[in-house]
Each structure stands twice: as structure tokens, then as C-alpha cells.
Amino acid sequence: MAEENKAKVPPRYDLNAKWDACLDLGVRRFVYSSFTGALAGLLLFRSPVTRWASVAFGAGVGIGSAYTECSQKFDGSSSKLTPNISDAPISKD
């Protein structure tokens, strides 16, 4: 009966769900972009150093994009970061 009285946390404020989603997103993007970097390195470069650099670049892109999306989830900000100049009201003086 005590479980029925517990108030449910709205999805907007559920930090556990947000952390789980961000961790999942970060791991998936890291792995997929590292794999893409490795494939591109095998196809485009001959030197092992440049191949590893390609893998590292792909991993960085994946982590960076996951970080950006997770920070938007936690802040609750919209995808529009800066106001558009054309949206400003025009004053007729």
C-alpha cells in the first residue's frame, strides 16, 4: 500500500532515465563512429599512424555529438541556440 502512495516522477525531472539514455547514446555513438573511422582509415590511408588517427577522430566526433545531445537533454534547451535576425521585430521610425 505504501507503493501506491508514492508520487511518480515526471519524465522531465527523472534524472536516472536521462543518465541511462545519455550513457547508452554515448557508448553507441563512440562505437559506431570509431568503427566508421577505422573503415575509412583502412580504405583511405596506408600508414598505421594515420589509420589510428582516423579512428581517434571518429571517436572524438561520436563523443562530441553525444555530449551535445545529452547537454540539451539535461538543460531542456531547444535545438535553436541563437536567435535569428529575421525573427526580430522591425520598428518603423
Spatial CA neighbour of 28 closest among 52, 63, 55: 63
pTM over 0.85: no
Which residue, chain included where needed, has cell 525573427?
87
Tell me the pLDDT tens digit for each residue of 6-39: 567 666 667 788 889 899 999 999 999 999 999 9
- Locate 87 and state its grid cell: 525573427
Q: Rounded to whole angstroms, what are the CA distances from 62 to 24, 28, 82?
A: 12, 8, 24
What local confidence, expressed as pLDDT, does residue 16 receive? Answer: 83
Q: Residue 41: how many CB atoms within 10 A of its CB? A: 21
HSE (CB half, 13 Å, CA atoms) of 50?
8
